[in-house]
């Protein structure tokens, strides 16, 4: 066991080491976000959760499933599917691998406990919400059928997000992120959503898009108007990511925004014993698992390559359509309703991807749903790690306020 000072140095060194080589400007934004709340810190340090996971635990004996790998309470959101209908589902698969189902269960429960504490909920109430989540997970697995949250019957915060996206005008969204000048429509460089891009990178992205149009089904559709570095999320901040404005089918209302995101190796991969498929690239892994686990894939979702690097390309959706609970003001009953729905969604995603490349079969998942013996282990570890993450956040926050990490490096 490390003493206090050694533990402090250890966690700071681990964070600095993991983020080494990232874009300093966006990395500084990541560290600034991480020091604000314990949940933001937890979101930005999935690698710590992976590194700290016990090698010997009964949780490792739970059935292997396709996992998000970085599941937390704000890693759900709405998006327009390939069929242009609105869906609410798991929203990020950067860390996805085949792993024991305990990974997603405990990480989600840990995030819920961290959030509950920050909002002043008593421990018994926070644990009760975890029980609601696990009850729903059990019920959905026993049912054995992969479903999705119907827009017409959605309730609480999920209903609000789906209604917002359903009624959202793409032209208005594009207008909020762009400006018109003498040279046509360009992206707004606001330091909140976008940053300036170098001429070298701009040309590289433009050449890639030109090749994509020539080789794919998008001839005369993806005419690039502008490119910028994108600011989004927490964990991936600092990795290559771009917003691409394309002309689409004529006029501002026909414009589209695309998200091009570098696919890094999964932080979870080194810590699982399950044999993984031989993916052609990390982008292929991310896209393949996302297509397996979601009810309907997001619009324009593709794995692509630029030189030796792989990227995930998709239509860009408004960041506010991610589940954001920092300023949660709803009634306790709504939070329980949300916990139930997240339990359903996780179980459905595992059922939907069941039996693929070594993942548990539907029958095995139904049997898991009928078994409650593992639940105490999930909640115990979630409680333990919520304490660890909160302690590490305080260490990081103190170092940040002392001047470390502000320039995108430990300092």
pLDDT at site 5: 47
- Give pLDDT tens digits for 37-80: 999 999 999 999 999 999 999 999 999 999 999 999 999 988 88
pLDDT given at position 142:
98
pLDDT value, residue 212? 80
Calculate mean pLDDT across residues 271-288. 97
Tokens describing residue 358: 């070594």
Does the pLDDT of residue 329 top 70, yes or no? no
- Residue closest to 236 by CA, chosen among 103, 94, 96: 94
Q: CB of 346 within 8 A of CB of 105?
A: yes
Is the model's pLDDT at 219 over the cut of 90? Answer: no
Question: Tell me, what's the pLDDT at 2?
Answer: 43
pLDDT of 86 reads 81
pLDDT at residue 66 in the model: 98
The structure tokens listed for 269 are 């991969």
Q: Is the pLDDT of residue 3 over 50?
A: no
Q: Domain ranges for the chain, please list them.
A: 54-163+324-386
Rounded mean pLDDT of 333-358?
Answer: 93
pTM of the model: 0.92
- Opening angle at CA 175, ends 299 and 152, nearest 5: 45
CA-to-CA distance for 165 and 87, rounded, in angstroms?
Answer: 9
Write down the pLDDT at residue 392.
97
Burial 97-113 (b: 16+ CB within 10 A, else e): bbbbbbbbbbbbbbbbb
Long-range CB pairs of 203-207 (<8 Å, 24+ gap) are 204/306, 205/242, 205/244, 205/260, 205/306
Beta strands 76-80; 256-262: pairing state:
unpaired
What's the pLDDT at 326?
63
Is 50 exceeded by the pLDDT of residue 182? yes
**DSSP type of residue 200:** H
- Nearest CA to 40 out of 235, 318, 323, 236 is that of 235
Instruction: Using the predicted structure, report yes or no on whether residue 9 has a pLDDT greater than 80.
Output: no
Residue 337 makes CB contacts below 8 A (sequence gap 6+) with 155, 156
**Mean per-residue pLDDT of the chain:** 89
pLDDT of the residue at 233: 87
CB atoms within 10 A of CB 92: 22
Q: What is the pLDDT of residue 80?
A: 82
Counting every residue written for the chain, the total comes to 411
pLDDT at 118: 86
Asked whether the beta carbons of 45 and 12 are under 8 A apart, the reply is no
Q: What is the pLDDT of residues 286-324, one digit of tens each?
A: 999 999 999 999 988 999 999 999 999 999 876 556 666
Contact call for residues 295 and 253 (beta carbons, < 8 A): no
Q: How far apart are CA 265 and CA 348, in angstroms?
A: 25
The percentage of residues in the chain with a pLDDT greater than 70, rounded to a whole number, is 89
Q: Is the pLDDT of residue 183 over 50?
A: yes
User: Would you call 63 helix, strand, or coil by DSSP?
Assistant: coil
**pLDDT score of 217 more than 60:** no
286 in helix, strand or coil? helix
CB 308 within 8 A of CB 105: no
The pLDDT score that the predictor gives to residue 175 is 84
Cβ atoms within 10 Å, residue 128: 17
Looking at per-residue confidence, does 386 or 328 come out higher?
Answer: 386
pLDDT in tens, 349-393: 999 999 999 999 999 999 999 999 999 999 999 999 999 999 999
Buried residues in 347-362 as b, exposed as e (16+ CB within 10 A): bbbbbbbbebeebbeb
Q: Which of 195-199, 221-225, 385-389 has the lowest mean pLDDT?
A: 221-225
Give the pair of three-digit tokens for residue 11. 């966690």
Token digits of residue 340: 């139930």
Q: DSSP label at 306? A: E
């Amino acid at each position: 066991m490390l003493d206090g000072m050694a533990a402090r140095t250890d966690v700071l060194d681990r964070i600095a080491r993991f983020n080494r080589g990232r874009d300093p400007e966006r990395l500084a934004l990541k560290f600034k976000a991480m020091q604000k709340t314990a949940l933001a810190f937890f979101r930005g340090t999935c690698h710590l959760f992976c590194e700290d996971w016990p090698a010997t635990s009964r949780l490792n004996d739970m059935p292997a499933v396709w996992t998000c790998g970085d599941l937390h309470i704000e890693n759900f959101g709405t998006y327009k599917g390939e069929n242009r209908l609105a869906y609410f589902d798991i929203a990020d698969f950067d860390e996805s691998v085949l792993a024991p189902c305990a990974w997603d269960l405990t990480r989600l429960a840990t995030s819920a406990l961290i959030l509950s504490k920050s909002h002043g909920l008593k421990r018994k109430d926070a644990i009760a919400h975890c029980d609601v989540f696990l009850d729903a997970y059990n019920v959905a697995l026993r049912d054995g059928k992969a479903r999705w949250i119907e827009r017409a019957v959605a309730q609480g915060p999920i209903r609000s997000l789906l209604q917002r996206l359903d009624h959202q005008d793409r032209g208005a969204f594009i207008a909020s992120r762009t400006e018109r000048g003498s040279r046509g429509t360009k992206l707004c460089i606001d330091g909140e959503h976008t940053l300036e891009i170098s001429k070298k990178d701009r040309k590289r992205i433009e050449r890639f898009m030109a090749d994509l149009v020539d080789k794919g089904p998008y001839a005369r559709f993806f005419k690039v108007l502008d490119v910028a570095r994108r600011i989004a999320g927490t964990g991936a901040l600092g990795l290559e990511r771009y917003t691409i404005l394309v002309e689409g089918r004529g006029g501002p209302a026909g414009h589209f925004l695309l998200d091009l995101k570098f696919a890094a190796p999964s932080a979870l991969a080194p810590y699982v014993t399950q044999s993984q498929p031989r993916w052609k690239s990390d982008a292929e892994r991310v896209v393949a698992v996302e297509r397996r686990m979601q009810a309907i894939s997001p619009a324009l979702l593709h794995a692509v390559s630029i030189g030796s690097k792989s990227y995930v390309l998709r239509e860009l959706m408004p960041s506010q359509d991610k589940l954001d609970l920092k300023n949660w003001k709803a009634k306790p009953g709504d939070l329980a309703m949300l916990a139930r729905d997240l339990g359903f969604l996780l179980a459905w995603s595992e059922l939907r991807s069941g039996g693929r490349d070594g993942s548990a079969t539907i029958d095995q998942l139904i049997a898991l749903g009928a078994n409650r013996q593992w639940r105490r282990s999930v909640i115990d570890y979630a409680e333990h790690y919520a304490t660890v993450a909160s302690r590490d956040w305080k260490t990081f926050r103190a170092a940040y306020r002392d001047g470390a990490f502000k320039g995108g490096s430990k300092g």
